């Protein structure tokens, strides 16, 4: 049974969705675009230095490659995809290779219905999220979901793969799903997402 969020709770949850989930999808999208550019040019991956600045002393954290930064961002985007599907009321049936409705929620799960909106059907979700990519979305989501199960949720000897292009398309599509199925559906302006450009 959904428990409708108060206006203040909605604001807190929406802010978290933007700053944690959508910003990370956006970062993963930009990182993957860069990595694909390097790969297409037969260049070795770039190195990375993370620069932190604030009211305290700044810090530079150099890496010998970009993986120390890119890998956690990409892995989190994959996990965000999995948990976002559940937020919208969906999961993946790996036997049928289809999106399916979730069977049940735990009492403390947050779902779209807690905002007073109906859970998305697979067709609604694919219809909304597919508007920003030119390839079929459902196989990408199945591939990413399986990879999250086998490579991120626990150690395994199974070796499913996920491509950089799939991570990019998934990230772009998931942002659009949130925009249409949550923000537009609530009648709210679409939020600004960081990084907004490269």
Q: List, for residues 118-165, the tens digit of each pLDDT value.
A: 999 999 999 999 999 999 999 999 999 988 877 777 777 777 678 999
Residue 198 pLDDT? 43
Tokens 């949130």, residue?
A: 178
Average pLDDT for the chain: 92
Dihedral pair phi/psi, residue 127, rounded to 5°: -60, -40
d(CA 172, CA 134): 11
Contact 102, 89 (CB under 8 A): yes
In the predicted structure, residue 33 carries a pLDDT above the cut 50: yes
CB 169 within 8 A of CB 141: no
pTM: predicted TM-score of the whole model, two decimal places: 0.92
- Confirm if 133 and 169 have CB atoms less than 8 A apart: yes
Collapse the DSSP code of 128 into the 3-class scheme (helix H, G, I; strand E, B; otherwise coil) and give the result. helix
173 exposure class (CB count in 10 Å sphere: 0-12, 13-18, 19+)? buried
Provide the pLDDT for residue 156: 74
Write down how long the chain is: 198
Answer for the pair 174, 25: CB distance below 8 angstroms, yes or no. yes
Structure tokens at 109: 């799960």
Residue 14: strand, helix, or coil: helix
pLDDT range class, residue 52, cuts 50, 70, 90: very high
**pLDDT category, 107, cuts 50, 70, 90?**
confident
Parallel, antiparallel, or unpaired: how do β-strands 98-101 and 49-52 relate? unpaired
Say whether pLDDT at 90 is over 50.
Answer: yes
| Reported confidence tier of residue 2, pLDDT bands at 50, 70, 90 | low
Average pLDDT over residues 95-119: 94
Q: For residue 37, is the peptide bond before it cis, meaning its omega torsion is within 30 degrees of 0?
A: no
């Amino acid at each position: 049974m959904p428990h409708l969020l108060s206006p203040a709770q909605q604001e807190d949850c929406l802010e978290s969705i933007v700053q944690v989930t959508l910003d990370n999808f956006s970062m993963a999208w930009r990182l993957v675009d860069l990595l694909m550019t390097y790969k297409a040019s037969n260049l070795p991956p770039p190195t990375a230095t993370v620069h932190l600045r604030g009211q305290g002393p700044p810090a530079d954290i150099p890496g010998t490659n970009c993986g120390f930064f890119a890998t956690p961002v990409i892995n989190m985007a994959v996990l965000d995809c999995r948990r976002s599907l559940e937020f919208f009321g969906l999961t993946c049936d790996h036997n049928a290779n289809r999106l399916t409705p979730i069977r049940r929620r735990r009492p403390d799960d947050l779902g779209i219905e807690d905002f007073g909106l109906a859970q998305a059907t697979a067709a609604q979700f694919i219809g909304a999220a597919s508007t920003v990519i030119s390839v079929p979305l459902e196989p990408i989501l199945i591939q990413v979901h399986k990879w999250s199960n086998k490579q991120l949720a626990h150690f395994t000897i199974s070796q499913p793969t996920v491509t950089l292009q799939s991570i990019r398309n998934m990230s772009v599509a998931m942002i659009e799903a949130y925009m249409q199925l949550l923000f537009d559906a609530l009648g709210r302006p679409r939020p600004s997402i960081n990084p907004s450009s490269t």
